[in-house]
Amino acid sequence: MRTSEIDEMDFEQLWRLYEELSRVLAIKIVAEKHELEKRLAQLVGPEIGVAFAEEAPSHLVRKYPKVAPKYRNPLAPEETWSGRGKRPKWLVKALEGGARLETFKIGSEPET
């Protein structure tokens, strides 16, 4: 089909063409996926290939185990920090204001 033929089509014709292309593409994508999975199974073995195909996407899998919080904001107790990663804003502001990290430790007695 030439570009000039597409330009001459009215809305209804274009919409039917779009739907037909979408249907054909969906069928071809599924077939291509099955073919790639079959090739992957041949390369790494059927057990590993199936397990690999059924894994959760990598962005949904936690790389490290969840860690319990070690520090708590006394002004907003729901705000906590595990001590890993970037320091939260509330802690950075408090430390810049002269507070000591130990004062926010969960389970420690407040200094008098």
Fill in the amino acid letter for 93: K
Q: Name residues whose C-beta falls within 8 Å of residue 49's C-beta, 6 or more positions apart in sequence.
A: 37, 40, 41, 42, 43
Where among 59, 74, 94 does a domain terminate? 59
Do both 45 and 67 map to the same domain? no
C-beta of residue 50 within 8 angstroms of C-beta of residue 42: no
Walk along the chain (112 residues) and give the pLDDT tens digit of each residue.
788 888 899 999 999 999 999 999 999 999 999 999 888 888 877 555 555 555 556 666 667 788 899 999 999 999 999 998 899 999 999 999 999 999 999 986 555 4
User: Is the same domain home to 47 and 31?
Assistant: yes
Distance CA 102, CA 96 (A): 14
Is the whole model's pTM more than 0.75, yes or no? Answer: no
Please give the residue range of the domain that contains residue 89.
62-112
Q: In the chain, how many domains are there?
A: 2
**Structure-block tokens of residue 83:** 């001590």
Residue 33: name the closest of 49, 19, 45 by CA: 49
